[in-house]
Structure 1
Amino acid sequence: MTTTEIAVGDLLRLATAGSVDDGKSTLVGRLLHDTSAVMPDQLEAVRRASRDRGLADADLALLTDGLRAEREQGITIDVAYRYFATARRRFILADTPGHVQYTRNMVTGASTAELAVVLVDARHGFVEQTGRHTVVSALLRVPHVALAVNKMDLVGYAEDRFAEIAGEFTEYARKLGVPDVVAIPMSALRGDNVVEPSPHMTWYAGPTLLEHLETVPTGGEPEATRLPVQYVLRATDFRGYAGQLSSGMLRVGDPVAVSPAGHRTRITGIEVGGTPVDEAFAPQSVVVRLADAVDVARGDLITPVSTVPSPAERLLVVGCQLASRPLRVGDRVLVRHTTRTVRAVVEAIDERLDVHSLSTDNAADTLYTNEIALVSMRTAEPVAVDPYEYNRHCGAVLLIDEASGDTLTAGMVGVPPWWP
């Protein structure tokens, strides 16, 4: 996509990731500062906080480390969302933690991202956490990855060091089926190749990070239309089904199916914000009316008859363990899929993934925090799921502790093509 093909106001969702102290928060702070996305009072607050810590210059990382615990410890704990814009594009950025114990938050930040910025410290190169974050990006079908080789000033802006890291990372990402990788050498602290080209790396002819963010294609392949029903509206002479279109579009007159029951009917009316329309598209919230008095309840899916998902009572998912409480074979859990929640039992934990070697072992019966494995479940009721490769929203599930209500595991339905 060329610059002229990008519509003004186009939106890119992105997430930053990488190992601890690779400079993610500093990079985000630099990006916000150099694009004039920081209010004067915010910048003054950062300067005061920096002086309190004995720093001569403003620590731009404090622009994103918003929690008090983060400021006190100098680390990122939670996902920090930031919104900014340039003349070419709008951005929603999720700055995710680098510490291993907070990897689960990277799953949250990358779940809706179209691009992941994976940082690597030029001194340390590719480390285990780099691989873990790249695996998560691949599992979540993030189509674009930018490798930010940071702190190049600390290795003398050496071209051969950059080439070594970029080559190792690109090969690793290729094994995971990541379709697009761009490597950029930079120094977030000094501003090299973040917004402006670096005078210290004239050997690099590629884009700055901002140039890449402004020009990377968005949208990707269209996904099949899915409307999870959130609420049934009933009146004497009216019945409508409310929800947010997770993908695709619906038109008045479309023949549709209601899953998992499989009832077929057609759309006779669509409202957006209380206004009748002829068509609606994701991510709009809508109310639809149907021609027939079919049984529709919260948790059902309204889909085109040509792309009806197959209801299943046995699910195989790639599970990323989020909670400190392990997931074990035999556990009874709740499975949340879009707006539907059903009971299930964990039947097997198969093929736990080693993120460093990209190999698997078959001996696991327990999944611990941050581990990734294939998980087999049997549900009490049919669930109309899509493979995650086919539809990111309707191929995702959460496993929830029945007793506490805590989220245990994030799951992607099906086995990705690159799985060992």
Structure 2
Amino acid sequence: MENLQEDIKKKDIGWNYGRMVNPDKIVDGIIYNFCQKVTKGGITRLKQHLVGGFKNTKLCPKVPAIVKQEMKDHFEEKLAQKTVMDSIPHFDDIFDITEEQGDDIDSHKDPSSIKRSTSISSSANSSILQPKKPRQLGPINAFFKLEAKNQGGKGPQFNEVKKKLSSDAAQKFARWMYDSGIAFNAVKYDSFKPMIEAIGQYGPWMKPPSYHEVREPLLKEEINHTMLILKQNKEEMAKNGCTLMADGWRDRKGRSLINFLVNTPKGSMFIELVDASSYSHTGEKMFELLDKFVQKVGVHNIVQVVTDSASNNVFAGKKLMDKYPNLYWTPCAAHCLDLMFEDIFKMPDLKRALERAIIVNGYIYNRTMLLNMMREFTGQRDLIRPAKTHFATAFLTMRSFQQHKQNLRKMFTS
């Protein structure tokens, strides 16, 4: 028959780092493996000694960092499971989480009643400790054991509990979005899913960040993270070269703006926004502006320069290639496609059809009652109106009329 020490080593993770003075009597005390201290406080006292931060014990001066982290994770997991238990009525009557996880043996239970489970075995005289880090569990994992205890339809079902918790969390999150006026497409950001997962792994007792934290320390950490990404982009730029891109556009005030960006295999990096409203938009002016950013990024770092295919940019691109033989000027593919769309609608039949669509569109949208009637027939859907630069929107406008053709016919014949 195995002695008491070998039996209880399979009971609690703390026994990997301590042993009983008397293998047959725990009341004689426990020896700590690292500092060789002897105490009669039980296995919980040993674990508190290894992790530190408790009033009734001091941190072991010789505990390895990996063991300290293991004990910290162990306490956090137990606290998470206890929090879930407390939130469910009569949860302790369904199953005993302490018995399953292996708490201390200060209650002096009969060793024959202790269930044996696999754990990490270690020798008291081992010079190198390589403990296995416990698997990180969230509070919902405790319900798996609840379902296993659930027999004959007694107690709440796991799927029902999980569904209720998920629904409640989603509703409260949506309410926060509505109160804050956050756009719905924010849930499509790449950073959204990791945020939800991190909150779930921490547990229900997580304290939300304060106004000061999101405004000061957390913002500074995110800035440092962004600077690290930019640093990686710059290293990639120096190693494999980059593309300098100039994207011109007009804002609502009619200002002519140009975004300058650098693209590498690591991604795109914004450099500067230039207000080019005062420029005459000649080829010489554009050449001077592009030349300025080529020198700012580094001539030897740039493989190509991409702009739209306007005549002034074509002239500036050719001058850049004459001055810097190591780089190429490339017209923007999207702008080339836009120009192709524009040429397509210069064909007589298509041009006439588009002009008629624009007239009908303007006739409807300039009359409030007629616009309301149209929405009744189209199921509250609007027609797509051509923009000032109607390259691709011309196709979208015609497609919109094609989709609502039957509804518009019903409206005009009603």
TM-score relative to the length of structure 2? 0.22
Larger relative contact order, structure 1 or 2 (CA cutoff 8 Å, min sep 6)? 1
Name the one with the larger strand percent. Answer: 1
Structure richer in helix, relative to its length:
2
Q: Which has the larger radius of gyration?
A: 2
